[in-house]
A and B are shown apart, each in its own frame.
Chain A
Amino acid sequence: MLAPSLSAVFFLLVIPVCFVVVYSFWLRSPYGADIPAFQFGNYAKFFDDFFYPSLLIRTIRVALETVALCLVMGYIPAYFFYRTESRLKPFLMILIMLPFWISFIIRTLSWINILGDSGLINHLLMKGGFISAPLPMLYNEAAVLMGLLQYLLPFMILNIYVSLDGIDKSLTEAAKSLGCTEWQAFKEVTLPLSLPGVSAGCLLVFVLTCGTYLPPMILGGPGNDMIANLIFKRIVGTLDWPFGAALSTILLGLLGVIVYTYNRYLGINQIFKTLQ
């Protein structure tokens, strides 16, 4: 029964990753095919120039910011979906999924029409006479965060919602009958029991942010590149496959360590999950 999924994982995931790791030890040849080798020059290059590690640090910082934004902005709609008895709920849920039906590139590009110098906001502000010159809203970290948020918020909302939806509503009713106000019942019951979803959502958003390059490429300035932009430029731009592979391997290793520690540390939440 497991065979098809295991072979899919093997051929689509394990083998390509092995290729990347093997490639990261090869030598680059300026003239022809890269030369198979086993040497650490590509890794040494990464640590020689602080520019490279600094990109990695920035990536992690931006990813943490994105997680924080998604968490705050995702919990509220997820909680609304959990509590509402509106007949519009299925329709609103589809609206959350709707962005997935539109190409990620198009969605990211569309921010230029909103935040750009001749975009919607500047246009309205200038027409209204509030400003005389367009506000520079694009090509900075805030714009990148906006793009990331738009991309990742649905993942956070859905993860939290699934967790909330598994909470029996009579638990809050029991808490209130025992003396809790609505807010106390939320703190005592709903919030702790939704933590598995919160934790899964945060991890997903973090990992996806670390691996994405479109929002910084389209909405960011020269100083907003993240590690995936560098990998993209090395492999697609300068065709430096061995160094690109080494960068990928470093990112993969770091994410692996983070995911592992996160799961161990937040393993407490797994108890809640199994208890339900």
Chain B
Amino acid sequence: MEKEKNPGLVQFRGVMKRFGDVLAVEKTDLDIPEGSLVTLLGPSGCGKTTLLRMVAGLETPTEGDIYIKGNRINDVPIHKRNLGMIFQNYALFPHKTIFDNVAFGLKYRNIPKDQIKEKVSRALEMVRLPGVENRMPSQLSGGQQQRIALARAIVIEPDVLLMDEPLSALDENLREEMRLEIDNIQRMLGVTSIFVTHDQREALSMSDKIVVMEGGRKQQEGGPEEVYNNPANHFVADFLGHSNFVDGVIQSRDGDGYRVKLEDGNELMAEGGDWREGDAVEVVVRAQKLDIVPRDSHQTDDAVNCFFGKIKERSYMGGEVSYFVELENGTVLHVIGIVKTKPFRRGDPVAVTAPPRHCKLLRKES
């Protein structure tokens, strides 16, 4: 029988961090479930690293408590926390061999020599770099060094694996490979992990849970699909993917949806939420969810949420094309379309349709 997983292996309770006048992290509550990979996602300076470093014991919370496996660890020094850390710049010890690097944590756990040897070679196999024990870090490439850093962190069987932008120093093509590597190993070992990144693709592709942060505050927390499809606010909708925003006012309820009077004069059907007539809202539509067709091939004039305009800008991106469409009333929409036949050119008249179920409503933020 499988052991029940702890839903809050790491718990933040009212955790806040201030550096002098700078409020790096506002009062935050957060649970990291056992065995899961949770991503802290947000733009630079939003407090992700600070949150991670408080788990590591490299920063002390100004207020609040952090628990690991139910034990409050605020006052436990870093070397007693049993954590694996992976840094952006690998942080391998340049004067030690790969073996000594990977064995480092084991040495401080008083593990017998022969066992250390065995564990090190198993960890190196796991990161697919067997037999490099006697090399020096500088003799390995960046991607290999980061894999050694991963081996060094997991070999001690940490309670929590902490990763601060571990992929951002790598070349574009290596990044994907290393991401899969981390993803696989994390799942194989089932080690509870916190992964910090500003890259939404990394976050969306590997996380069990994403915590979107901005200005030191948690904006939304949820699975990748939930966060992507149901953004909680303007920031999340804007940060993840490419979105169009139009302000409007709820006019009436219409079946499952709402009729919204947009500020540019158009009218639009949207779905979801619980709104009252007169509520000020913001309509969000993902650029990928808009349909775009040539104007003349568009038949019916009574289709819902259909707008006419001209291609203003376009950029070809291989499999898809990104268009900016200027509507007749001047509003500009961002549309990302898959190239089926021939991409549109600048100036082409087009019809853009926004399916109501992809038009999400957010409360208008002042």
The finding on whether chains A and B are genuine partners in a shared complex, rather than unrelated, reads yes
Q: Does B109 contact A (CB under 8 A)?
A: yes
Assembly CA distance A193 to B93 (angstroms): 9
Contact across chains for A176 and B93 when beta carbons are under 8 A apart: no
Cβ of B191 within 8 Å of any chain A Cβ, yes or no, is no
B residues 63-82 near A (Cβ < 8 Å) are: 77-79, 81
Chain A nearest CB from B95 CB (Å) reads: 5
Chain A residues with Cβ below 8 Å from B94 are 193, 272, 275-276
Q: Give the bracket for the number of chain A residues in contact with chain B.
A: 20 to 34
The answer, among A171, A176, A272, for a CB contact under 8 Å with B79, is A176
Question: Does the CB pair B93–A179 fall under 8 Å?
Answer: no
Q: Tell me if B95 and A174 are in contact (CB < 8 A).
A: no
**Chain A 167-191 residues near chain B, CB threshold 8 A:** 168, 170-171, 173-181, 184, 188-189
Instruction: Report the minimum CB–CB distance from B267 to chain A (whole Å).
Output: 55
Q: How large is the interface on B (under 10, 10 to 19, 20 to 34, 35 or more residues)?
A: 20 to 34
Does B93 contact A177, Cβ atoms closer than 8 Å?
no
A192 within 8 A of partner (CB): yes
CB contacts (< 8 Å) of B56 on chain A: these are 173, 177
CB under 8 Å from chain B, chain A span 230-274: 271-272, 274
Contact yes or no, B58 A175, CB < 8 A: no
For B152, the closest partner residue in chain A by CB is A178
- Among B77, B89, B137, the residue within 8 A (CB) of A170 is B89
Of the candidates B91, B109, B136, B162, the one whose C-beta lies within 8 Å of that of A179 is B109
Q: Which residues of B contact A177 (CB under 8 A)?
A: 56, 78-79, 81, 83-85, 162
Q: A272 to nearest B CB, angstroms?
A: 5
Closest chain B CB from A186 CB (angstroms):
13
B109 contact set on A, CB distance < 8 A:
179
**A168 & B91 in contact (Cβ 8 Å cutoff):** yes
Partner of B93, one of A171, A181, A184, A274: A171
Given known A274-B138, A275-B137, contact A174–B108 (CB-CB < 8 A): no
Most chain A beta-carbon neighbours within 10 Å: one of B81, B91, B137, B138: B91
| Chain B residues whose C-beta falls within 8 Å of the C-beta of A174 in the assembled complex | 85, 87, 91, 93, 152
The 4 A-B residue pairs with the shortest CB-CB distance in the complex, in nearest-first order? A179-B108, A178-B105, A275-B94, A170-B91
- Residues of chain A having any CB pair with chain B under 8 Å: 168, 170-171, 173-181, 184, 188-189, 192-193, 271-272, 274-276
